[in-house]
Each structure stands twice: as structure tokens, then as C-alpha cells.
Amino acid sequence: MRRTDLGVRDIAGEAVLIGAGGRSILLQIANPAVGHGVADHSDFVSRPLDRLRGTLSYVYTVVFGTPTEVARAVARVNRAHGPVVGATTEGAPAYSAFAPDLQLWVAATLYDSAMTIRELVFGPLDDGLAEAVYRDYAALGTALQVPEGRWPVDRATFAVYFAEQLAGLRTDATTRAVARQLLYPRAGPAWLRLAMPLGRLLTVGLLPPRVREIFELEWSPRSQRRFDRLFAVTAVVYPILPLRLRHWPKNHYLRVARQALEPAVV
């Protein structure tokens, strides 16, 4: 029987949502200000698992943590974002990791990507529950620099905002190079590189067609058939897995985050 009492804690804890992480990153860096900030200041290309751990630890702490844990996680992110500032140059806009509009876009991609992959696996949420989950996801942005009034008031308003943002996305040689390095990593453990053919199929297949085009990513009818088969199998197998397995990444990264946020004993 389908549950109707799900909340953001049930949904955000699902391991399958991690599969949309590459989609989120590519959407983020297709905003030129975010993309050049990542290109100039981030080392996630050479340390992809560290970036994944940092993002998941933040998301899980905001959703599942205590107020004290959330405050410490936010302070940690703000310290990391402090140096991420750049002036306008030829072909690249100014950027700041503290800009509310950029933080809003990052949070929006996390929400939209999570809902995109969840719907493929579990089907759509009931409207009332979908609205409640949507409102809860606002915390990913408002915990940082996004004023509460900037998060679109409901899903219909969000859909308009997201479509407007998609229409304005663009890439250049710099951000396309970041995308290629993400999709074809040379760093990281061997198992990560071996898993990347599946990761590329998943990431590119989840992207809106226009975003594939501006990143110059190949996608064919054969690719689409493979993608469809992947989710046909996932939609059958994943929901029947034990909950402790489906939520293991959340429990693991939340434990790691809590250990990292513990005050040092002196």
C-alpha cells in the first residue's frame, strides 16, 4: 500500500537520490557565475569523493540534524565559501558564493534533481504531500544565504522559476571542461572510474535535453533505451530493498558529519 504520510525525512534519506548528484552539479555549473566559481576555486574534480561527502553531509545535517548541528554545518560551509569571490572578466561574470540568487539556484537543483529521480523510481507524490516536501526542501537554501521569501512559494511558482533559469543557462569552454572532468574523472579510486559509464548514462539521461546540448553531451535513441531499461529495473528492485540498506548512506554520512562537527577536546 502506498504511504500517504511521507515527509521530507523519509524522502531525503533515500540512497537512490544520490544518483541525481551529477545532474545537480551540471545544472549548477551551467549558471556561468556558479560554473566559473567552481572552475576557479573548487578541487572537486581532483577530489570528487570529498565533494560528494561534503554535499551529502550538509544535506543530511540540515534535514536530520539538531539545531546546534545545523548551525555548525552552516558555519563550516560558510568558512569554505569565504574565498569564493571573483570579479567580472571577459567572458565570465562576477560571482560570490554568498550571493542569494546563486545559493537559490544551487538549492533548486538539489530539490528538482531529487524529485526527478524519485518520481522515476517511486512514481509521483500526492499533491498535498508534494507541496509539504517542497516547502521542507527550502531549508537547504535558507539555512545559508537565501532569505525565506526568495524560495518560490509553491511548486507552481517554482516550476516557472526553474523554467526561466533553464532558459538562461549557458556554457563556455571553461565550464564544459569542468563537466568533462566530472564525467570522465582521472582521479579517485579505480572503482569510481569503473562505475563512470553507468554514472554518465544516469547523469546525462537525467538532464533536460537543452542542458545536454549546451554541454555538448552525446545522447542517442540507443542511450535513451538503455536509460529507460535502467529505471525499469530500478523501479522494481529498489523499493523492495530493506529500509536500512536504502538509508545506509544517510546514516553513514550523518554520523561522519556529526563526528566532524564535534568540538575539539582540549
Give every CB contact of residue 132 below 8 A, 6+ residues apart in sequence.
Answer: 7, 8
Confidence (pLDDT) at 265: 40
Among 4-13, 118-127, 193-202, 229-238, which is the least confidently predicted range?
4-13
Q: Name which of 166, 148, 175, 132 is nearest 39 in CA terms.
A: 175
- pLDDT per residue over 67-83, tens digit each? 998 898 888 888 887 77
- 266 part of a folded domain: no
Mean residue pLDDT of the chain comes to: 88
Q: pTM of the predicted model, to two decimals?
A: 0.90
- 186 part of a folded domain: yes
Is the distance from CB of 250 to CB of 58 less than 8 angstroms?
no
- 1 part of a folded domain: no
Long-range CB contacts (within 8 A, 24+) of 158-166: 158/108, 158/111, 158/134, 161/108, 162/108, 162/112, 165/31, 165/105, 165/108, 166/208, 166/210, 166/211
Confidence (pLDDT) at 46: 66
Give every CB contact of residue 114 below 8 A, 6+ residues apart in sequence.
Answer: 11, 12, 17, 20, 137
- 207 part of a folded domain: yes
* Structural domain containing residue 214: 8-261
- pLDDT per residue over 169-227, tens digit each? 999 999 999 999 889 887 777 777 788 999 999 999 999 999 999 999 999 999 999 99
- Which set of grid coordinates corresponds to residue 95? 560571482
Angle, helices 155-168/100-122, rounded to nearest 10 degrees: 110
Q: Residue 148 and residue 157: Cα distance in Å, rounded? A: 14
Lookup result for grid cell 504531500: 129
List the alpha helices (DSSP H) in 30-138. Answer: 32-41, 48-64, 67-81, 100-122, 127-137
User: What's the domain count of the chain?
Assistant: 1
Q: Residue 31 and residue 29: Cα distance in Å, rounded? A: 5
Give every CB contact of residue 83 below 8 A, 6+ residues apart in sequence.
Answer: 41
- Whether the pLDDT of residue 260 is over 80: the answer is no
Strand, coil or helix: what is 116?
helix
